[in-house]
């Protein structure tokens, strides 16, 4: 097992009641690389992403973080048990950005970014505030730290949410349809922030419907269909010359996928 992979998923299954959403996924996210999950809605890509930081508990299979499998085996069926303490420690190293931002509405932007640093990393107020200010400046929101989320645009809220995750100095960032809830004119600012992260060498696992963006940012594209990996490879291969029929249909179905440019 190499430790060059931040995330190694093997044999991952997830059922909701009788409905099996993920039917055995094997996937690695190498350090410093960007992996993009594509697929129709219901294909399981968001569930897969949420299994990585255990917001959804896998039914079977393992997720290894920096080479170390999470949880302990429980019986023979591939089930594992996870302690609260272990999951909290894991989550502190994994940043996630949600479709609906999920900022804390009763805290200012700055307090949102400070909360995890204070509660989990035990940083002092001054240290946490300084880090938060620096991150806000990095995403073009210098001086907006005092604003409550309701006084920020969707794009600004999402950039604050990205800062909140980055403040924990995560080893990997997960993006769960981070731009799907945004007005079209606000999508660009969030995508640019994500692109800058990639250039800084951040390891990322991204679920998105922005195919043009996926093409430009991905080191590897993974196309999911009905809970399984249907096709995967470099974006040029999967998105321009798909081998599988379902992949081809998906790419054709997204007429807004115009290649190649991104401002």
Partner 1 sequence: MDAFLSPSLAISLPALARGLVHTLELAAVCLVASLLLGLVFGVMRYAGGRVLHALAIAYVEVFRNTPVLVQILWFFFALPILVQFEISAFTAAALGLSLNSGAFSAEIFRAGMQAVPTGQWEAANALGMSRARVMFRIVLPQAVRHMIPAFTNRWIELFKLTSLASVIAYPELVYSAQQISNSYFNPVEVFTLVAVIFIALVIPASYLLRRLEARLRRSAP
Contact call for residues 189 and 159 (beta carbons, < 8 A): yes
Mapping DSSP to helix (H, G, I), strand (E, B) and coil, where does residue 73 land?
Answer: strand
- Looking at the Cβ atoms of 60 and 148, the one nearer to partner 1 is 148
* The binder of partner 1 chosen from 2, 76, 150, 255 (CB under 8 A): 150
Q: Residue 236 CB, nearest distance to partner 1 (Å)?
A: 33
Q: Residue 207 CB, nearest distance to partner 1 (Å)?
A: 15
- Looking at the Cβ atoms of 170 and 242, the one nearer to partner 1 is 170
Contact call for residues 86 and 71 (beta carbons, < 8 A): yes
Size of the site for partner 1 (CB under 8 A): 29
* The binder of partner 1 chosen from 164, 175, 205, 223 (CB under 8 A): 164
- Looking at the Cβ atoms of 15 and 102, the one nearer to partner 1 is 102
- Looking at the Cβ atoms of 76 and 150, the one nearer to partner 1 is 150
Q: Residue 175 CB, nearest distance to partner 1 (Å)?
A: 12
Long-range own/partner contacts, residues 111-118 (CB < 8 A, 24 or more apart): 112/149, 112/160, 112/161, 112/164, 113/145, 113/160, 113/163, 113/164, 113/167, 114/167, 115/164, 116/92, 116/164, 116/167, 116/168, 117/167, 117/168
- Residue 24 backbone phi and psi in degrees, to 5: 100, 85
Write out the two tokens for 153: 């645009």
Q: Does 66 bind partner 1 (CB under 8 A)?
A: no
Q: Does 57 bind partner 1 (CB under 8 A)?
A: no
Q: Residue 117 CB, nearest distance to partner 1 (Å)?
A: 9
- Pairwise CA distance, residues 169 & 162, whole Å: 11
Q: Does 168 bind partner 1 (CB under 8 A)?
A: yes
The residue ranges of DSSP E strands in 194-247, in sequence order, are: 204-207, 220-225, 228-233
Q: Which stretch binds partner 1 (CB under 8 A): 19-27, 164-172, 186-194, 222-230?
A: 164-172
Q: Please list the residues that pair with 36 across neighbouring strands.
A: 206, 221
Q: Kindly write out the interface string for residues 69-88 of this chain, putting x where it contacts partner 1 by CB under 8 A and - elsewhere.
A: ---------------x---x
Restricted to residues 129-148, the positions that interact with partner 1 (CB under 8 A) are 148
- Pairwise CA distance, residues 206 & 208, whole Å: 6
Q: Which residues bind partner 1 (CB under 8 A)?
A: 53, 55, 84, 88-92, 94-96, 98, 100, 102-107, 115-116, 119-120, 148, 150, 161, 164-165, 168
């Amino acid at each position: 097992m190499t430790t060059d992979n931040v995330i190694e998923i093997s044999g991952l299954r997830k059922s909701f009641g009788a409905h099996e959403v993920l039917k055995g996924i094997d996937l690695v996210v190498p350090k410093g690389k960007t992996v993009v999950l594509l697929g129709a809605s219901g294909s399981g890509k968001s569930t897969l992403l949420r299994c990585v930081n255990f917001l959804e508990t896998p039914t079977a299979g393992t997720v290894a973080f920096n080479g170390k499998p999470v949880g302990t085996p429980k019986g023979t069926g591939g089930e594992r048990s996870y302690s609260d303490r272990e999951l909290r420690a894991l989550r502190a190293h994994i940043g996630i950005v949600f479709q609906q931002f999920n900022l804390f509405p009763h805290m200012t932007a700055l307090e949102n970014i400070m909360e995890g640093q204070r509660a989990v990393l035990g940083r002092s107020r001054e240290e946490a505030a300084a880090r938060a200010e620096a991150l806000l400046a990095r995403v073009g929101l210098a001086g907006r730290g005092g604003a409550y989320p309701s006084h920020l645009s969707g794009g600004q809220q999402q950039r604050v949410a990205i800062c909140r995750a980055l403040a924990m100095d995560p080893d990997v960032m997960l993006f769960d349809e981070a731009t799907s809830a945004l007005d079209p004119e606000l999508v660009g600012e969030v995508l640019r922030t994500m692109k800058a992260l990639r250039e800084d060498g951040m390891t990322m696992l991204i679920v998105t419907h922005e195919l043009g963006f996926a093409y430009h940012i991905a080191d590897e594209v993974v196309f999911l269909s009905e809970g399984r990996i249907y096709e995967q490879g470099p974006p040029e291969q999967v998105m321009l010359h798909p081998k599988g029929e379902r992949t081809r249909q998906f790419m054709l179905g997204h007429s807004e996928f115009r290649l190649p440019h991104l401002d």
